[in-house]
């Protein structure tokens, strides 16, 4: 296990390095000059003094060779210094620290809604014995994935803010101000969870051990909760990294639609201004979250399905006696 964890940590470090390098190369290959964009803060296209541009380029080290810039930025990033924003002059770590709490609150509530909604929908679709209802419930996640996030946000604003006035439309705080953005972000994520978990439940129900558990007197609901859920949830945990990526990407749209301050809005502003240090800091932050989530999922696999860890334990816990099955059923 120690060797496995060490290999995963080294892999995570290589992913962070690759993300930093690729973002650095892509940003510096863009034709526009970030210093010129920052100097023309009003966007009016007013000519800026070339001497002032040269002074700003020297201040941020943009006048040095590309390899020198890359090595300096990399060594500083390893030491925790992500540089300063070209647009505002604020340290990137401070900018991320100011934006992160709002996004964390939004993402946490959205994840709660997504898990509750996705798991409930998957359970309902796999538990019902009516084919028409099962097909209808199983088809709902496809709709949730297909609907654009911004359209969901605008629809929720129209219904719950402008028509029923149950929640603030823009820039709200607390639960009332976060619930609509969280629901908007939760719809596509919960739909993916429901899709994958429904397929996993249906596949697990076809395994022989479920017939054994049912034959011993267990109810369908008890067998699903006791024996089917754990192995069926492995594919859902596998896509956790994808869900985190979708959540971070969706936060850009959601925070823009609802005029919320967070990492999403910071990303939009930094990309439009080609604020290279801020964009690289956001890339490193999202990459660190991604690899951390995937490492945690890899460590949880043996707990969900002992076959993955090769521990030789039973893959399910069938009821030992008919009386135990009836008692739980």
The arithmetic mean of pLDDT across residues 277-302, rounded, is 83
Q: Under a CB-based contact definition with an 8 Å cutoff, are residues 118 and 194 in contact? A: yes
Residue 317 has pLDDT above 50, yes or no: no
Looking at the domain assignment, is residue 8 inside a domain? no
pLDDT computed for residue 94 by the predictor:
94
Phi, psi of 84 (to 5 degrees): -120, 150
224 and 268 inside one domain:
yes
26 and 117 inside one domain:
no
Give the span between the Cα atoms of 182 and 117, in whole angstroms.
Answer: 13
Q: What are the CA-CA distances from residue 222 to residues 171, 229, 287, 325 (Å)?
A: 44, 10, 39, 9
Q: Under a CB-based contact definition with an 8 Å cutoff, are residues 92 and 85 in contact? A: yes
Q: 91 has which bridge partners?
A: 84
Looking at the domain assignment, is residue 6 inside a domain? no
245 and 315 inside one domain:
yes
What six digits make up the tokens of 80? 């925790």
116 and 214 inside one domain:
yes
pLDDT computed for residue 305 by the predictor:
64
Residue 114 has pLDDT above 60, yes or no: yes
What pTM, to 2 d.p., does this model score?
0.77
What six digits make up the tokens of 149? 């996030």
Looking at the domain assignment, is residue 83 inside a domain? no
42 and 149 inside one domain:
no
CA angle, 289 as apex, 152 and 82 as ends, to 5°? Answer: 110
Looking at the domain assignment, is residue 259 inside a domain? yes
pLDDT in tens, 10-62: 888 898 899 899 988 888 777 767 777 766 655 555 566 777 778 877 877 87
73 and 119 inside one domain:
no
Looking at the domain assignment, is residue 124 inside a domain? yes
Angle between helices 263-273 and 276-304 (to 10 degrees): 140
Residue 318 has pLDDT above 50, yes or no: no
115 and 238 inside one domain:
yes
Q: Identify the domain containing residue 299 by its residue range.
A: 92-328
Longest CA pairwise span in the chain (Å): 87
Looking at the domain assignment, is residue 151 inside a domain? yes
Give the span between the Cα atoms of 198 and 18, in whole angstroms.
Answer: 35
More confident residue, 196 or 244: 196
Looking at the domain assignment, is residue 205 inside a domain? yes
Q: Under a CB-based contact definition with an 8 Å cutoff, are residues 119 and 189 in contact? A: no
149 and 34 inside one domain:
no
pLDDT in tens, 154-203: 899 899 988 888 888 776 677 888 899 999 999 999 999 999 998 888 88
Q: Under a CB-based contact definition with an 8 Å cutoff, are residues 244 and 108 in contact? A: no
**DSSP designation for 207:** S
218 and 253 inside one domain:
yes
Last residue of a domain, one of 54, 78, 102: 78
Q: Where are the alpha helices (DSSP H) in 131-275?
A: 131-146, 149-156, 174-205, 208-215, 220-223, 229-232, 234-238, 240-257, 263-273
97 and 63 inside one domain:
no
42 and 190 inside one domain:
no
Give the span between the Cα atoms of 53 and 33, in whole angstroms.
Answer: 10
321 and 242 inside one domain:
yes
- CATH code of the domain containing 210: 1.10.3720.10
Last residue of a domain, one of 78, 100, 124: 78
pLDDT in tens, 120-163: 999 888 878 788 888 888 888 888 888 888 899 889 989 998 88
Q: Domains in the chain: how many in total? A: 2
Last residue of a domain, one of 78, 104, 126: 78
pLDDT in tens, 63-108: 888 889 899 989 999 888 998 888 888 999 999 999 998 888 898 8
| Pick from 145, 226, 260, 245: nearest CA to 193 | 145
Give the span between the Cα atoms of 193 and 236, in whole angstroms.
Answer: 6
Looking at the domain assignment, is residue 123 inside a domain? yes
CA angle, 324 as apex, 321 and 327 as ends, to 5°? Answer: 150
| Pick from 247, 241, 279: nearest CA to 104 | 247
């Amino acid at each position: 296990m120690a060797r496995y964890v060490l290999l995963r940590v080294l892999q995570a470090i290589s992913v962070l390095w690759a993300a930093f390098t690729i973002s650095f190369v892509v940003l510096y290959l863009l034709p526009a000059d970030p210093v010129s964009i920052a100097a023309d803060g009003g966007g009016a296209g007013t000519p800026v003094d070339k001497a002032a541009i040269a002074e700003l380029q020297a201040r941020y080290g943009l006048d040095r060779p590309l390899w020198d810039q890359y090595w300096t930025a990399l060594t500083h990033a390893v030491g925790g210094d992500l540089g300063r924003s070209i647009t505002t002059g604020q340290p990137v770590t401070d900018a991320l620290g100011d934006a992160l709490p709002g996004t964390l609150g939004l993402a946490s509530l959205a994840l709660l809604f997504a898990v509750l909604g996705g798991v409930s929908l998957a359970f309902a679709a796999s538990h019902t014995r009516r084919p028409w209802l099962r097909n209808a419930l199983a088809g709902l996640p496809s709709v949730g994935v297909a609907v654009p996030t911004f359209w969901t946000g605008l629809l929720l604003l129209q219904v719950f803010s402008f028509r029923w006035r149950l929640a603030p439309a823009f820039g709200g705080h607390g639960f009332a101000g976060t619930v609509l953005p969280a629901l908007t972000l939760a719809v596509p994520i919960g739909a993916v969870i429901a899709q994958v978990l429904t397929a996993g439940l249906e596949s697990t129900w076809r395994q022989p051990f479920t017939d054994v558990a049912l034959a011993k007197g267990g109810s369908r609901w008890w067998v699903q909760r006791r024996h089917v859920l754990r192995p069926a949830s492995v594919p859902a945990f596998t896509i956790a990294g994808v869900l985190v990526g979708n959540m971070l990407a969706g936060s850009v749209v959601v925070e823009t639609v609802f005029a919320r301050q967070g990492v999403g809005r910071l990303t939009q502003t930094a990309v439009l201004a080609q604020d290279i240090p801020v964009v690289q800091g956001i890339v490193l932050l999202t990459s660190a979250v991604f690899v951390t989530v995937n490492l945690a999922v890899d460590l949880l696999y043996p707990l969900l399905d002992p076959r993955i860890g090769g521990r030789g334990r039973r893959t399910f816990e069938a009821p030992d006696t008919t009386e135990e099955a009836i008692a739980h059923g």
